Amino acid sequence: MEKQSTLIQEILVTRQPIFDKQKNVFAYDLLFKSKQDFQDRVRAAYSSASGDDGDSSSAGVGMDSLFITGLRKLTGGKRAIINFNRHMLLNQLHLMFPSDLLGVELREMGMNRGKDIGRESTIRTDITKTVEKLKSAGYLLIMNALLFNEVDISLAKMADIVGVDFRSMGLQKRFSFSGDPYLRPRFLARSVETATDFEIASDKGYHYFQGEFFSKPDLISVRSIPSYKINLMRILKEINKPTVHFNEIEKILKRDVSLTYKLLRFVNSAAFGLKNTVQSIRHALILLGEVEVRKWLSLIVLSGMGIDKPHELIRSAIIRAKFCESLAAAIHYEKEMSSFFLVGMFSMVDAFLDRPMEEILEELPLQSDIKSALQGKPNRYRDVLELVLDYERGEWRTVCEMVDRLKLDEQEVSTLYLEAIEWGKLL
């Protein structure tokens, strides 16, 4: 069982959310360090379950259920969008996955018009037939807009979703596809980096959105900070003072019933795995200790600040914080794990408050090393945070460089990332 269950963990993979217009997660785009490595692991998982040689033409439902379960955990049950190259498509790798789990994305098929007309014609025919079968089997098909230069209109019309890269396309080209009379799909705006980009794309008829816009502060909209966020910020400052101890924390909790309720709910969640229910503030303080209580209260307060934000923002903050904490343990910074947790969590505080990070850090009484890391200054906290940020973005070259520098193991890092995602679901 252990050998099978680690197949998905052996792959360096990250997930990036794709949102609908309401900023709910529609699917996750999966970015792999190596497509070949992914294919090898998929075939190994299939062979493990079926005793077959991994020929996908006979795959059907033969995929190792533990591998599929691992993939579902990675996406939280949402559809996994995977970029297929021509080889993966023609070898029908999609058949190794349930149709309700997988979205096949085609970005480029490597066809060059005019070089070998006969061979190109055969490839086009094979691709079209494969896509027709893929569609009839119920798989979601996403096609990159630039691929329209390579494929026939009959193939383009089969796309359920057309992806458009906002960063690389000019303003006029971004919005030319939605008016194409031959196309009737929905449109995905990629590389949406700001709230303004999101609003423009939404107004212009895009249905789905991918990018870091949801995790960045909206500094354009001029509006006053809601009173509840001001109150929560005051609490955040109080609980992070270096001189605050049990009695002061207990007083803070007694003044805010919702904080007390949320802390007790967190402590009694599956993430802690306690046998007996914790029913009082004092019991929670004694059980967790001052450092851990400070960490958990900070998380609770931050989540309260995010009630007007996409739920994915707090989910991402929790995963990032846990990933930082777990990496700290792997690097043998065990005594500072809670501090690394705070670094990961507070790295997104500007998005919760829609204020510049510098302004927020002036108010928060965090230790100087944590502040420096959040300001981008090099230190041990920043090293781990940079590794986590690069991992989230799928910047695999810099990830591997940092993994080597910190004397970590790639598979261990992948496992810690997947465990952070799973841990976040327990809260």
pLDDT digits (tens, 9 = 90+) for 338-397: 999 999 999 999 999 999 999 999 999 999 999 999 999 999 999 999 999 999 999 999
Structural tokens at position 102: 């997988």
Q: Looking at residue 49, what is its pLDDT?
A: 57
How many CB atoms sit inside 10 A of residue 258's CB? Answer: 9
Structural tokens at position 247: 């009695």
Grouping H, G, I as helix, E, B as strand and the rest as coil, residue 208 is: strand
Q: Looking at residue 341, what is its pLDDT?
A: 98
pLDDT band for 242, please (50, 70, 90 cuts). confident
pTM of the model: 0.90
Task: Convert the pLDDT of each residue in 279-303 to its tens digit.
Answer: 999 999 888 888 888 899 999 999 9
Q: Which sign, positive or negative, has the C-alpha torsion 35, 41, 44, 48?
A: negative
Task: Convert the pLDDT of each residue in 160-213 to its tens digit.
Answer: 999 998 877 665 555 555 555 555 689 999 999 999 999 999 998 899 999 999
Q: Looking at residue 154, what is its pLDDT?
A: 79
pLDDT at position 46 over 90: no
pLDDT at position 64 over 80: no
What does pLDDT average to over the chain? 87
DSSP 420: H
Q: Looking at residue 199, what is its pLDDT?
A: 93
Nearest to 421, CA basis, from 77, 32, 75, 11: 75
Q: What average pLDDT does this structure show over 296-322?
A: 95
Q: Looking at residue 6, what is its pLDDT?
A: 47
Grouping H, G, I as helix, E, B as strand and the rest as coil, residue 51 is: coil
CB burial of residue 120 (10 Å; 0-12, 13-18, 19+): middle
Task: Convert the pLDDT of each residue in 7-17 to its tens digit.
Answer: 677 789 999 99
Domains of the chain (ranges plus CATH)? 2-213 (3.20.20.450), 227-425 (1.10.3210.10)
Task: Convert the pLDDT of each residue in 91-127 to its tens digit.
Answer: 899 998 999 999 999 988 766 555 666 777 888 889 9
